[in-house]
Amino acid sequence: MCVPPIPSRLMTGVDDVTVRVMAPHEFEAMRAVSVAAFGNDASIGHLLDGLRDSWAWHDELSFVAVRGDEVVAQVLYSSAIVDAPGRLVQVLVLSPVGVAPHLQRSGVGTKLITQSLAVLDARDEPLVFLEGSPSYYPRFGFRPGAELGFTAPSVRIPPPAFMVRPLPRYEPWMTGALVYPDVFWRFDAVGLRP
């Protein structure tokens, strides 16, 4: 698959935060920001380690927001499968996304998600899924997965939180169950627990 570089219009913004693909040497900094974003939740770091070592990882789909040389936010898209009636369809899952605690709610997440999603338009995957707040993600084009005929990989994902955003290669026959790769289960990173 040939993915073009991020267009220059995506490299600048209204402030001093820049969105770009993570460089390989930035993995630890990206990981640290994500763990901190989730309240020092170590399991996020373990999930990132597992994803990096799995078939679902794509170097070009780990995005960071940087201020100067400092990584201040991250978003990762990794591969999953939709078990559609006609055939298996390779799709993407947005997880995790995290902004350094001191910068949360200042527009960094919006910039990071908007600009990284724009890059996905050039890819073959037709859909991006996520588990997240139904009050936050619709602004990026996400809608409830059930509206397009998808079922969640776990009953522990509240239906409004199971969301999907079509990409240019989406076709309406693509329906069915979202199947997460093994790594999400190994790290118990699916849905909510009481």
Ligand X SMILES: CC(C)(COP(=O)(O)OP(=O)(O)OC[C@H]1O[C@@H](n2cnc3c(N)ncnc32)[C@H](O)[C@@H]1OP(=O)(O)O)[C@@H](O)C(=O)NCCC(=O)NCCS
Residues that bind ligand X (CB under 6 A): 37-38, 97-99, 104-110, 132-133, 135-136
User: Quick one: CA torsion of 148, 154, 158, 159, rounded to 10 degrees?
Assistant: 20
- Rounded to 10°, the helix 42-52/27-37 angle is 140
C-alpha distances in Å from residue 137, one per residue of 117, 140, 163, 185, 188: 12, 6, 8, 24, 23
Contact 118, 155 (CB under 8 A): no
User: For 89, which DSSP code?
Assistant: E
Measured from the CB atom, the residue of 40 and 106 that comes closer to ligand X is: 106
Q: Least Å distance between CB 179 and ligand X?
A: 20
* Minimum separation from the CB atom of position 172 to ligand X (A): 27
Residue 98 CB, nearest distance to ligand X (Å)?
Answer: 4
**Cβ proximity to ligand X, 36 vs 84, nearer residue:** 36
Considering beta carbons, is residue 79 or 116 the nearer one to ligand X?
116
**Nearest approach, Cβ of 127 to ligand X (angstroms)?**
17
Q: Closer to ligand X at the Cβ: 125 or 131?
A: 131
Q: How far is the CB of 84 from ligand X (least distance, A)?
A: 25
Residues 129 and 170: their CA atoms lie apart, in Å, by: 13
Nearer to ligand X, 132 or 181 (CB): 132
Contact criterion met (CB below 8 Å) for 95 and 43: no
Q: Which residue is nearest to ligand X (CB)?
A: 109
What residues contact 155, with CB distance under 8 A and at least 6 apart? Answer: 191
Give the Å distances, CA to CA, from 102 to 91, 98, 109, 167: 32, 12, 12, 32
**Least spacing, CB of residue 17 vs ligand X, in Å:** 10
132 or 174: whose CB is closer to ligand X?
A: 132
